[in-house]
Structure 1
Amino acid sequence: MLFALLCTDKPGGLQLRLDTRPDHLAYLDDLNARGILKIAGPFLGADGKPTGSLVIVKTETLEEAKAIAAADPYAKAGLFSNVEIKAYNWVFNNPEA
């Protein structure tokens, strides 16, 4: 099952995001190598700077998706003001369909 992790950065979190980015990317690389990560990237504000993240993962349960979200270095560093997790159905341009 796919889950979308919709993560919103805290105001003024850009420097924390930049400082934590190498660990975050290593975490995503590991998820990708294990076949869990499907899509990831930042949301951008009007100024073109990151304001949050979209991460889509493939897990068996919502609880597993929650654990993945909580283990993200960005989340551990306190970057996010909110993380919403929703079941997701990838209909168009899904390479696995």
Structure 2
Amino acid sequence: MLFALICKDRAGRLQVRLDTRPEHVAFLEGLNGEKKLAFAGPFLDTDGKPNGSLVVVEAPDLAAAEALSAADPYAKAGLFESVEIRQWNWTFNKPAAA
């Protein structure tokens, strides 16, 4: 099953995001290597600066998706104000390999 992790950054935490980014990227690369990552990227504010994240992961159930979300270095660093996890169905423009 696919789950969308919709993450909103806490206000004024851009430096936390920047400082933690290398660990976050390594975490996502690990998920990708385990075939658990569908896609990911930041939400941007009106100035083009990141202010949240969208991460879509493959997990057997909601509990496993929650565990993946909690393991993200951004979450561990306290970057997120909120994280909404929703089961998601990739219907259109899905790559053949996904």
1:74 is matched with 74
Counterpart amino acid of 1:9?
D
Which residues of structure 2 form unaligned runs of 5+?
A: none
Q: What TM-score comes out, normalization by structure 1 length?
A: 0.98
SS at match of 2:60: coil
- Distance, in Å, in 1 between the alignment partners of 2:23 and 2:58 is 21
Q: What TM-score comes out, normalization by structure 2 length?
A: 0.97
- Distance, in Å, in 1 between the alignment partners of 2:44 and 2:71 is 23
Moved over 4 A (4+): none
User: How many residue pairs were aligned?
Assistant: 97
- Distance, in Å, in 1 between the alignment partners of 2:64 and 2:33 is 17
Map 1:15-30; keep pairs closer than 5 Å: 15-30=15-30
Counterpart amino acid of 1:28?
L
SS at match of 1:90: coil
- What do the CA deviations read for 1:59-86 (whole angstroms, capped 9, x no partner)? 1100000000000000000000000000
Which residues of structure 1 form unaligned runs of 5+?
A: none
Using the TM superposition, give the Cα deviation of residue 12 of structure 1 relative to its aligned residue in structure 2, in angstroms. 0.4
> What percentage of aligned pairs have identical amino acids?
61
Using the TM superposition, give the Cα deviation of residue 95 of structure 1 relative to its aligned residue in structure 2, in angstroms. 1.7
1:54 is matched with 54
1:4 is matched with 4
- Distance, in Å, in 2 between the alignment partners of 1:95 and 1:38 is 10
